[in-house]
């Protein structure tokens, strides 16, 4: 339970959640961390807290540096309970602490905890001196919630961007140059796809708001801290929030007796023939929070379902509902599937893709089992629509 030094008198004091595997529906196969940071200056400042069940772990780390009751300021950059969950315990221990939060943060925290803490609401751009250092606050509404705010420490060039730039990744390593960049970037991409994809415009605005800052360290509230690869993650965020896609087709489907799977393969062949990268995602084998990672940078989103009891398969409905909520933009959709007699599923998939504002390719619908000729025709039909 040791703290980790970022710079002189500035420490990571968060909690490592090795066991979490489901974060409100998002599979977190590598666990997570909730990052809190302690700044020891004339005013002792804690930036964010951790999920309630890791509060003791955080307090133990803080106690290695200072007595937690001596904390003067607690900055709540974000109301969501993975970061605010330990506030009741912290504010009880640090009885004289002032709780700094954004304009929307205060009502949000009151509505969560029903406590009359000593709040100080800060405006966007406002600064507070804590001794030889300054805390500057920038509101970044909807990156992730209306209350979201980032804190910047100009003297040390450290940005605390809360959810932004984070990853669900439990590790004892704290910095980007101590861990596999492939894994970090994959988890950062998964985090963006599942948590922030819907908020592309607020994320772009947040990137703009921080673009003039000199940053040596970007210390998010989940996962690894950036110090050697800040440019890489910022440029990935620029690309993702601009909805830039690659020449890639993700083919997402479920199948009952293999017919929709055969159609999926025929569609894959068409994309391959045209030089488009493909990824097959069977929904009985892949969780929707993993499938959405490939949706993030794919130009073509092909979704297939057979008809089951007059409907698309529940796995497909679940994925489409999830994707509609995350609202990827500038994608091209393709609905496909097999059926026995009533055949509603393909039309239902098509409607959901349309609701997700996708441009649509011609749908593909096959009764019972496609033979070799039908599969060849499917490949040709899809190919003919690709440039």
Report the C-alpha dihedral over residues 48, 53, 58, 64, rounded to 10 degrees.
160
Q: Is 80 in the site for ligand FEO (CB under 6 A)?
A: yes
Does residue 78 have an active-site annotation? Answer: yes
User: Is the CB of 221 or the CB of 348 nearer to ligand FEO?
Assistant: 221
Residues with Cβ within 8 Å of residue 288, at least 6 apart in sequence: 318, 319, 322, 323
User: Is the CB of 41 or the CB of 48 nearer to ligand FEO?
Assistant: 48
Beta bridge partners of 164: none
Q: What are phi and psi of 71, to 5 degrees?
A: -65, 130
Q: Is 78 in the site for ligand FEO (CB under 6 A)?
A: yes
Q: Is 254 in the site for ligand FEO (CB under 6 A)?
A: no
Task: List the one residue from 48, 57, 82, 297 that touches ligand FEO (CB under 6 A).
Answer: 82
Does residue 114 have an active-site annotation? Answer: no
Options 78-86, 121-129, 232-240, 273-281: segment touching ligand FEO (CB under 6 A): 78-86
Does residue 222 have an active-site annotation? Answer: yes
Does residue 113 have an active-site annotation? Answer: no
Q: How far is the CB of 364 from ligand FEO (least distance, A)?
A: 39
Does residue 24 have an active-site annotation? Answer: yes
Q: Say which of 78, 83, 168, 229 is annotated catalytic.
A: 78
Does residue 176 have an active-site annotation? Answer: no
Tell me how crowded residue 380 is: count the other CB atoms within 10 A of its CB.
Answer: 13
Nearest residue to 125 (alpha-carbon basis) of 114, 115, 113, 139: 139
User: Is the CB of 84 or the CB of 379 nearer to ligand FEO?
Assistant: 84
Q: Is 83 in the site for ligand FEO (CB under 6 A)?
A: yes
Beta bridge partners of 119: 99
Q: How far apart are CA 28 and CA 36, in angstroms?
A: 20
Q: How far apart are CA 387 and CA 374, in angstroms?
A: 22
Options 75-83, 116-124, 172-180, 341-349: segment touching ligand FEO (CB under 6 A): 75-83
Q: Say which of 82, 147, 176, 294 is annotated catalytic.
A: 82
Report the C-alpha dihedral over residues 123, 129, 130, 133, rounded to 10 degrees.
110
Q: How far is the CB of 83 from ligand FEO (least distance, A)?
A: 6
Q: Transcribe 110-134 into DSSP letters.
A: HHHH-----EEEE-TT-EEE-SS-E
Nearest residue to 48 (alpha-carbon basis) of 84, 81, 94, 13: 84
Q: Say which of 8, 24, 114, 214 is annotated catalytic.
A: 24
If DSSP codes are grouped into helix, strand and coil, which group holds residue 39? strand
Options 76-84, 100-108, 291-299, 317-325: segment touching ligand FEO (CB under 6 A): 76-84
Q: Say which of 34, 37, 191, 237 is annotated catalytic.
A: 191
- Structure tokens, 362: 């011609």
User: Is the CB of 169 or the CB of 361 nearer to ligand FEO?
Assistant: 169
Name residues contacting ligand FEO, limited to 117-176 (CB under 6 A).
Answer: 144-145, 163
CA 319 to chain centre: 16
Does residue 56 have an active-site annotation? Answer: no
Given the structure tokens 């807290």, which residue do they identify? 49
User: Is the CB of 221 or the CB of 260 nearer to ligand FEO?
Assistant: 221
Between the two ends of the chain, the Cα-to-Cα distance in Å is 57
If DSSP codes are grouped into helix, strand and coil, which group holds residue 310? coil
User: Is the CB of 145 or the CB of 339 nearer to ligand FEO?
Assistant: 145
Catalytic positions are 24, 78, 80, 82, 144, 163, 191, 222
The footprint of ligand FEO (CB under 6 A) covers: 78, 80, 82-83, 144-145, 163, 221-222
């Amino acid at each position: 339970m040791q703290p980790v030094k970022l710079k002189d008198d500035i420490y990571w004091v968060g909690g490592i959640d090795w066991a979490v595997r489901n974060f409100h529906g998002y599979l977190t196969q590598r666990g997570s961390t909730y990052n809190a940071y302690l700044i020891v200056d004339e005013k002792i400042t804690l930036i964010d807290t951790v999920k309630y069940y890791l509060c003791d772990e955080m307090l133990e780390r803080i106690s290695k540096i200072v007595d937690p009751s001596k904390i003067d300021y607690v900055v709540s950059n974000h109301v969501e309970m993975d970061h605010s969950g330990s506030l009741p315990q912290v504010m009880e221990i640090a009885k004289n602490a002032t709780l700094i939060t954004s304009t929307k943060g205060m009502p949000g925290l009151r509505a969560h905890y029903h406590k009359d803490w000593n709040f100080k609401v800060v405006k966007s751009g406002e600064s507070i001196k804590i001794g030889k250092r300054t805390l500057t606050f920038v509101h970044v509404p909807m990156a992730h919630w209306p209350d979201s705010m980032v804190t910047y420490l100009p003297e040390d060039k450290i940005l605390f961007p809360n959810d932004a730039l984070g990853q669900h990744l439990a590790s004892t390593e704290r910095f980007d140059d101590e861990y596999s960049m492939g894994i970090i970037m994959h988890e950062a991409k998964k985090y963006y796809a599942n948590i922030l994809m819907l908020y592309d415009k607020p994320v772009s605005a947040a990137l703009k708001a921080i673009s003039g800052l000199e940053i040596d360290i970007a210390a998010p509230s989940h996962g690894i801290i950036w110090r050697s690869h800040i440019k890489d993650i910022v440029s990935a965020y620029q690309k993702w929030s601009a909805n830039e896609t690659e020449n890639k087709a993700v083919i997402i489907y479920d199948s009952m007796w293999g017919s929709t799977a055969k159609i999926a393969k025929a569609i894959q062949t068409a994309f391959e023939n045209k030089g488009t990268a493909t990824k097959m995602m069977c929904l009985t084998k892949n969780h929707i929070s993993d499938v959405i990672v490939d949706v993030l940078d794919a130009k073509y989103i092909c979704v297939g379902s057979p008809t089951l009891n007059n409907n698309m398969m529940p796995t497909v409905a679940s994925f489409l509902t999830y994707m509609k909520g995350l609202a990827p933009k500038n994608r091209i959709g393709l609905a496909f599937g097999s059926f026995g007699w009533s055949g509603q599923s393909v039309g239902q998939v098509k409607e959901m893709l349309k609701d997700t504002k996708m441009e649509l390719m011609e749908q593909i619908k096959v009764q019972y089992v496609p033979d070799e000729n039908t599969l060849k025709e499917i490949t040709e039909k899809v190919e003919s629509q690709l440039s």
